[in-house]
Chain A
Amino acid sequence: MRITGPTPRHPALFLCGLLFVAAAAMGIAPAADGDIWWHLAAGREMVARRALLFSDPFSVGAGGRAWADVHWLFQLGVYAVYRYFGLLGLVWAKCSIVGGSALVLLAALPRKPRSWVAPVFVTLLVAGLFAARGLLLLRPVIVTLFFIALYFLVLERFRRFGRARELWLLPLAQVAWANFQGLSAIGPALVAAYALAAGLELWAGSSRWFPFAHASLSGSSPRRQFRLQALALIGCAFASCLTPFGAAGLTLPAKLLGRLLPSAVNVYAHAIAENVPPFSLEQTSGEFWHLKWGFALLALALWCGGRRLQLAHLFLLSGFSALALMSNRNVLLLYWVATPIAALYLAPSVRVWLLRWNRQRGQQLAFALNAGALFTLLGLGVTAAAHEPSLARPTPFRMPEASADFLTHVPGGSIFSADHQVGYLIWRLYPRFKPYIDTRLVLRSAEEFEEYLSIAEDPQRFAQLQAREHFAYVVLPVAYPDRYLGLIAALNASPEWQLVFSDGSEVLFARRDLSFGESIAWGDPQVSERLLAQAERQFRGAPELATAARLHLATLDVALGEFDEADRILSHSSQAEAVALRARARFGAGNVAGAETLAQELLRRDPRDVPSLNLMALIALRRVDRDSAVGYLRRAVGVDPFDLETGQILANLEANP
């Protein structure tokens, strides 16, 4: 009649197995990131040439420019895995590295009898990985997770046991890390944090005011600690130079860090999605909602740590927190480093509180809560994985798969495309086709990148670029992201371009002088029905994806001015997104009353639906009813003060009252 938890015979082994499975499960997702494709292409090219790449062979925008390809080991590795096991093999390799690296982090924690540190760490890390699983991409950062864990293990063991010989592992690892990723500068930074902490303790550790615990648990003196860690730091710094790219490879991390610094003039910081500060993304898209809770948990852990706090840990948390606040891509690194440190300080305090409350029940309650949380997270991770599309293919709608298929049968040439899709085009079409700009922005100046971005904002500027580059083809996505819809509309209206292929989710334009015959009769119901039937076949068994394809097709119709056709193909769906898009199609067609009917229907379903409130405000403005418009906008602001569309309408109103 009692509720008790499982008591495995080998709890440490059980915990390790659980951590490996749970951490690995968080990485199960198809390849959504565009970078992996140019990494694969680079690996393939190196194998073909039997030489490293020192200049860009792939693009027309930066062709021949010097390229410090410090990822070359990663690229060879992923190409080897892909060649024999495909994308599926890459995903499983990624999951295995994440799971194995999590075990290395676990090994860095002290193993004391009846300690709660390890179980608490396992739950915290799995929670962090679950929250940030969108960042667990097929990228060199996965290898960086392993190296960070290894450094943390070695440095913590040195702090606890004082064995100097283990530090020699660090410069050796640094040589490998420096040839895997530009983030390898984190290695020396980790060593520097421990060395600096030892140095400060050497200088002021005996003072009464020194507010941190002694670093060494082995009886080793601060002087010895400082000297050995400083030597390891010098070794790591020297090892960082051992890349085939010399000074360019060495300075790359600093260059990349400079691009993360948030500022209005730093185009790399505010225009690259993964570099945007996470709190900004939380405001506009709801992503990274978990970061504030992460900080709150860290604050609680440090508060609990009190006089047990290690200065080196403080340096690590400060550094990784700063990186995470600067750029959302670093949130994963923060969680990776912060969870073992948080567990070190949180678990002993929680143990004391609960056992003080009730010795027997406190233990049972802690076990039940931790196990419940961990199994819930594991269940969520596995459910998420089961819900993912095929791992053997790229995430649907993210890569221009159909356009690449089409291009394999036509004459080659240069391509303008969305930068994040270019890696895929390189992988599929190099060397017959060369794209303009991809996500290797180290090859481009800020001015070049700004020029590229300005085309999406002001499609008329594309003509200037075309006059210079003479692109033969343009490949653009409809929905992920949707920033190119304006350019799609402009090219469709241009006499110099013709729409030669689209499946509704991606579009391919060819220069008209390439003689592809007739353009697609966009807006013709027969064309729409053919594409919808094709999507139904492609996504058989995944109705959500078929629905998404239908929405993309309707979105493209609206962007190209085929409002009635968009209205028609969405007319059978009562889904909120479909109704909202129909309302906008009607508004675009000038059918204000029809748009109002649908927007009101959506507001009856959800009075806090911001897009519908925005549309009602626009309808009121069209009718020159300022009071109603303000009323709707006020409601929209009350629900979501960060909504981009509401902000745009307000800005328009302020500019043109």
Chain B
Amino acid sequence: MNSKNGSPLGARFVATLLGLAALYPVASRQWAAHQSERALARYQRAPAGRASTALPPALSLRVQRLKGLLASWETIGGCGAGTSTGAGGGIKWIGRGTAGGLFQLQTLGTYTHLRDGYILSLSNQVSRDLSEKWNAGFSVPLLYKYYRNYYNLNPPVDISNGGLGDVSAFLTRRFGEINNTALTLSVGFPTATHDARYKNDLLTQEKQLGIGKVTGTLVLDHTLDELWGIVVLGGSVGYRGGQNELGNYRAPVANVYGYAGYFMGPWVPSLGLTVQRFFGVDRDRTLDQQEQLTSVAATAEIEWSTDWLAILAGVSLPYGFEIGGAPAEGTANPLRAGFQPWTAAVGVSLSPF
């Protein structure tokens, strides 16, 4: 490309025009809503007469676009209220989500900020309704853990551990007249490495990508679909694999949570609170690790969705207390109650065809 001439004004002007064209649908929607509202107000002010209830047959019988039928361009659609399958630490998908397509694809990327590094995770979840009451799927997580100055050496040595996490499969049974209660059993398979080393030195268990054992989680969700928004209440218990052949141990965990989201057109901002309790401390090669056994996490999210595409962004900040375990040898600052690493997440959910 040649750049030896001209100012960027021409390009910027046309870009602005195109940007305005892109905004037209949003503006026209607002305008149509305003016009309809005015028409309703006029009708309310008008003296009562005999209302016409005659319907043109073609209009009144077009009940809804069919889902999953015919040529593919006719089949995108279907909006289920209150799907809430979550992935990522502290972040649970709250909003309209997407549903009704051939399958549901949900990708949630999270960033957890540690004092001495960070954890990136990309969880890809594919699920499909087997019937009105049953849903099944699997989740494939990719993890990347990065720690600065791992050995407190000079010069410092940073380490990273990345790769496939534990792949899991899940099955959901919905209950209730409108399927607003869901029980999900998820089983994780030991596909992640649990014995990664740096120069023949095993990384500590929390820096491993998995525990090398089968894990399991049972989640119960109840969704209250209100006109103004959505409320999700629930809880889960998780078996994190117990002890492996290296003497690493991950303790069982349980949590209860409540989230409330408010409908603002295609946007659903939500706030949530999660209380989490570990039943025991984790161990690294048989040695107890010091941990905050109980935590309360506040979560703020916002979802934007169409019938078949939903995008979510959120942050979660946990506060931990009830210290368990012994500080590591030579640790100058034993753990106290306080804020735990925060997590930010961005997710995309697709429900095509």
A residues at B contact (CB < 8 Å): 1-3, 29-30, 32, 133-134, 205, 209-217, 279, 282-283, 285-287, 289, 292-296, 298-303, 305-311, 314, 317-318, 321, 325, 344-345, 348, 380, 383-385, 387-389, 395-397, 482-486, 489, 544-545, 547-548, 551, 555, 558-559, 574, 576-577, 580-581, 584, 604-609, 611, 618, 621-622, 624, 626, 629-630, 633-635, 637-638, 641-642, 644-648, 650, 652-657
B61 with A558: CB separation less than 8 A: yes
Residues of chain B within 8 A of A395, CB atoms compared: 70-71
For chain B, residues 70 to 129, give those with C-beta under 8 angstroms from any C-beta of chain A. Answer: 70-73, 75-77, 79-81, 102-103
- List B residues 265-284 near A (Cβ within 8 Å): none
Contact check, A624 vs B51: say whether CB atoms are below 8 A apart: yes
Contact with A along B20-49 (1 / 0, CB 8 A): 011111101100110111011011101111
What's the Cα separation between A622 and B52 when bound, in Å?
8
When the two chains form their complex, are residues A295 and B22 in contact, meaning their CB atoms are under 8 A apart?
A: yes
Q: Which residue of B lies closest to A609 (CB)?
A: B64
A-B pairs, 8 with minimum CB distance:
A134-B73, A211-B10, A306-B8, A580-B63, A657-B46, A641-B32, A295-B22, A299-B18
Query: Complex formed: what's the CA distance from A380 to B101 in Å?
Result: 12
Tell me how far the C-beta of A251 lies from the nearest C-beta in chain B, rounded to whole angstroms: 30
Please measure, in the bound complex, the distance between the C-alpha atom of A644 and the C-alpha atom of B63, giving whole angstroms: 11
CB distance from B125 to the nearest CB of A (A): 14
User: CB < 8 Å: which of A345, A621, A626 contacts B53?
Assistant: A621
Secondary structure dominating the interface of B: loop
B interface residues with partner A (beta carbon < 8 Å): 1-12, 14-19, 21-26, 28-29, 32-33, 35-37, 39-40, 42-44, 46-73, 75-77, 79-81, 102-103, 132, 142, 144, 160-163, 177-178, 193, 196, 225-227, 263, 306-307, 350, 352-353
Known: A581-B61, A581-B63, A642-B29. A607 touches B227 (CB 8 A): yes
Given the interface pairs A482-B61, A611-B64, the reply to whether A295 lies near B11 with Cβ below 8 Å is: no
Q: A321-B21, A383-B353, A584-B60 are in contact. Are A302 and B49 (CB under 8 A)?
A: no
Query: A287 to chain B: which residues have CB within 8 Å?
Result: 73
Among B19, B61, B178, B307, the residue within 8 A (CB) of A286 is B307
Q: Is there an interface contact between B5 and A213, defined as CB atoms closer than 8 Å?
A: yes
- Whether the pair A650, B36 counts as a contact (CB closer than 8 A) is yes
Contact B36 A637 (CB under 8 A): yes
Q: Is the CB of B14 within 8 A of A317?
A: yes
Query: Closest CB of chain B to A592's CB: distance in Å?
Result: 10
Whether the pair B353, A622 counts as a contact (CB closer than 8 A) is: no
Q: A211-B11, A303-B11 given as contacts; is B53 within 8 A of A559 (CB)?
A: no
- For A618, what are the chain B residues with a Cβ–Cβ distance below 8 Å? 53, 55
The answer to whether A641 and B36 have CB atoms under 8 Å apart is yes
Q: Please, which residues of chain A bring their CB within 8 A of the CB of B350?
A: 380
**Sample of 18 A–B contacts (CB below 8 Å):** A29-B72, A216-B2, A287-B73, A301-B15, A307-B5, A311-B10, A317-B14, A345-B11, A383-B103, A486-B57, A604-B177, A607-B227, A634-B37, A641-B33, A641-B36, A650-B36, A653-B39, A657-B46
**CA–CA, A32 to B18, complex, Å?**
32
Please tell me if the beta carbons of A295 and B18 are within 8 angstroms of each other in the complex: yes
Inter-chain contact A214/B4, CB cutoff 8 Å: yes
> Beyond A3-B163, A295-B18, is A307–B6 a contact (Cβ under 8 Å)?
yes
Contacts A383-B102, A383-B352, A654-B39; is A308 near B2 (CB within 8 Å)?
yes
Q: A283-B25, A607-B81 in contact; A655/B52 too (CB < 8 A)?
A: yes
Please determine whether B193 and A1 come into contact, CB atoms closer than 8 angstroms. yes
Q: Which residues of A contact B15 (CB under 8 A)?
A: 298-303
Most buried by A among B60, B67, B76, B178: B60
* A648 contacts across to B, CB distance below 8 A: 55-56, 59
> Do B59 and A656 touch (CB < 8 A)?
no
Q: Are B37 and A306 interface neighbours, CB within 8 A?
A: no
Q: Which of B5, B61, B70 contacts A396 (CB 8 A)?
A: B70
A307 B7 Cβ-Cβ under 8 A: yes
Q: Which residues of B contact A551 (CB under 8 A)?
A: 66
List B contacts of A292 (CB < 8 A). 21-26
Q: Give the complex CA separation of A484 and B56 in angstroms.
A: 11
Known contacts A580-B64, A641-B36, A650-B39; is A217 also within 8 Å of B2 by CB?
yes
Known contacts A213-B2, A605-B81, A611-B63, A302 near B162 by CB under 8 Å: no
Name the residue on A nearest B62 (C-beta): A482
Cβ of A307 and Cβ of B11 under 8 Å apart? yes
Does B12 lie within 8 Å of A306, measured CB to CB? yes
Which residue in A289, A348, A606, A641 is a CB contact (below 8 Å) of B81? A606
